[in-house]
Structure 1
């Protein structure tokens, strides 16, 4: 009796034991389905652009729309590669974007090193000025820069585009590289200077090799800005020999008809450099952006 009494007095079993555990599989499947949908949604325009680049112009607006048709071909790409004028657009973009990236990295590294490691008069005012330039909407400077470039004799030249783009890429690059250098301990500089090394030796032999993520993030961002820029490239150039890829795409839009297949093919070709950069340097880009933002 005492044994039976003791077992019945233990009270009701805990709720976790009485209720069957629900499987987490439906919830996990739902989350994955939502993530896939969110990933596919921004990819749809790119997929449609790629599909259209292979279609004859007459099938672009077929209803119902089809991603793949029996008449798909490479004619649009062949027409672009066979046209020296269109290839010139790509050459101009590579020259301008590459030059802007290299010069921006060089100048921003020197400026960021000085701002990070030295104290000098008006340093705070200079920082405020750099941030203020970054905050100015570029479109408000279009007419002043047009007049300045014409006055300097740089209209319709590589130099005019490169110098103009650097005005917009340098503030961001200096801010990011200053923030990245601030994360590096000053003991590195002091240890090398004890052996008689100068500031430039410290910068180029010690700090830059360990600042690759910051350099990559700034370089990718700078190249992307210079490669995709449209408004200043349209305003500061006159001849097709100096036009860049965004302007070349716009020139394919005729007054009465659009060659959609070539427009999309040229857009795909114009997107490849940015996609390649992000694919190969994504890890450095993300780490450099986060490190520079923490201490900027």
Structure 2
């Protein structure tokens, strides 16, 4: 049985190539279809039989996306909220991960289990408590109403990633720095964090993308038109009885591009963070 050609086909390189092709198509096809839709007119989009490629590609949908709604404002709000929440997330998660990885905590296992458990809570179950908290703090309709929850929601995953990285860094490097007069915090940010750069970049990318894509909290906590983020702003293109899919697709492509550029720029560090972080030295 193990020597049969079918078994060899299913367990060898062809199977891996097939699985990789399926994953690639599953990941790229939606974005490709949105791109092609953004280049079509409404008439071509509703034509039957369906046309896969636009016969007369047009960029007018992109101009309409910026003219019909303040898309530039949505992009700015999303970028600032995602950036500030990522900075806050990394600062807190670096300190938390270092404490877990280096200090002889008595209930270290319990703490890690609690972090994993918290990260599994569905966002919808946290909506009402978070809303009441933001209202009690008078933070509704501000960037802070999104920055603080986004940071809290990204902390568990980012902390777990950084813990695995910090544990691979020899303690002797920190001890040598402290002998030379560096404080523990100084050794953390001057020695440990630079050595764990792939993990920091990985955690940062995850936190940024999570904040960039989030819709439910952004819709619930900010009702001001001037504070709408991109996911909330895109829904404003649809009317009561109309769905301008080409224009909506153009706005989606504009929202995808910044994240795609970010990942392309830091892809080597992200890949290193995803592969190296799980190996302890």
Query: What corresponds to 1:200 in structure 2?
Result: 185
Give me the whole-angstrom Cα distance separating, in 2, the residues matched to 1:34 and 1:207. 38
Quick check: 1:90 aligned with 2:82? Answer: no
Give me the whole-angstrom Cα distance separating, in 2, the residues matched to 1:183 and 1:142. 37
Give me the whole-angstrom Cα distance separating, in 1, the residues matched to 2:179 and 2:16. 57
Give me the whole-angstrom Cα distance separating, in 1, the residues matched to 2:162 and 2:146. 23
Give me the whole-angstrom Cα distance separating, in 2, the residues matched to 1:161 and 1:273. 20
Give me the whole-angstrom Cα distance separating, in 1, the residues matched to 2:127 and 2:93. 23
Contact 2:89/2:152 (8 A) holds in 1: no
Quick check: 1:39 aligned with 2:13? Answer: no
Query: What corresponds to 1:4 in structure 2?
Result: none
Instruction: In structure 1, list runs of 5 or more residues that go unmatched.
Output: 1-26
> How many residues are treated as equivalent by the alignment?
270
Please identify, of 211-220 and 188-197, the stretch whose mean Cα deviation from structure 2 is larger.
188-197
Instruction: In structure 2, list runs of 5 or more residues that go unmatched.
Output: 1-11
Contact 2:119/2:156 (8 A) holds in 1: yes
Q: Please report how far the alpha carbon of residue 146 of structure 1 lies from its aligned counterpart in structure 2 after TM superposition.
A: 1.0
Alignment of 1:131-146 (within 5 A): 131-146=116-131
Distance of aligned partners of 1:66 and 1:238 in 2 relative to their CA distance in 1, 3 Å threshold: same
Q: Please report how far the alpha carbon of residue 131 of structure 1 lies from its aligned counterpart in structure 2 after TM superposition.
A: 2.5
Contact 2:39/2:54 (8 A) holds in 1: no
Please identify, of 51-60 and 119-128, the stretch whose mean Cα deviation from structure 2 is larger.
119-128
Query: What corresponds to 1:68 in structure 2?
Result: 53
User: Highest Rg: 1 or 2?
Assistant: 1
Please identify, of 81-90 and 268-277, the stretch whose mean Cα deviation from structure 2 is larger.
81-90
After superposition, what is the alpha-carbon deviation per residue over 1:259-293, rounded to whole angstroms, capped at 9, x for unaligned? 11110001111111221122122221122123334
Contact 1:85/1:241 (8 A) holds in 2: no
Say which of 38, 52, 56 aligns to 2:41: 56
Quick check: 1:280 aligned with 2:262? Answer: no
Query: What corresponds to 1:110 in structure 2?
Result: 95
Query: What corresponds to 1:191 in structure 2?
Result: 176
Please give the TM-score of this superposition, normalised by the length of structure 1. Answer: 0.83
Give me the whole-angstrom Cα distance separating, in 2, the residues matched to 1:247 and 1:57. 23
Alignment of 1:257-296 (within 5 A): 257-294=242-279
Give me the whole-angstrom Cα distance separating, in 1, the residues matched to 2:114 and 2:19. 44
Query: What corresponds to 2:225 in structure 1?
Result: 240
Give me the whole-angstrom Cα distance separating, in 2, the residues matched to 1:30 and 1:147. 51
Give me the whole-angstrom Cα distance separating, in 1, the residues matched to 2:19 and 2:123. 37
Contact 1:98/1:223 (8 A) holds in 2: yes
Q: Tell me, what secondary structure is at the counterpart of 2:277?
A: helix
CA RMSD of aligned residues (A): 2.4
Q: Please report how far the alpha carbon of residue 29 of structure 1 lies from its aligned counterpart in structure 2 after TM superposition.
A: 8.7
After superposition, what is the alpha-carbon deviation per residue over 1:10-30, rounded to whole angstroms, capped at 9, x for unaligned? xxxxxxxxxxxxxxxxx9899
Q: Please report how far the alpha carbon of residue 209 of structure 1 lies from its aligned counterpart in structure 2 after TM superposition.
A: 1.5
Contact 2:81/2:146 (8 A) holds in 1: yes
Q: Please report how far the alpha carbon of residue 249 of structure 1 lies from its aligned counterpart in structure 2 after TM superposition.
A: 1.4
Please identify, of 58-67 and 223-232, the stretch whose mean Cα deviation from structure 2 is larger.
58-67
Query: What corresponds to 2:6 in structure 1?
Result: none
After superposition, what is the alpha-carbon deviation per residue over 1:124-173, rounded to whole angstroms, capped at 9, x for unaligned? 44333322221222211111111111111111110010011111101111
Distance of aligned partners of 1:61 and 1:194 in 2 relative to their CA distance in 1, 3 Å threshold: same
Q: Tell me, what secondary structure is at the counterpart of 1:222?
A: helix
Contact 1:179/1:291 (8 A) holds in 2: no
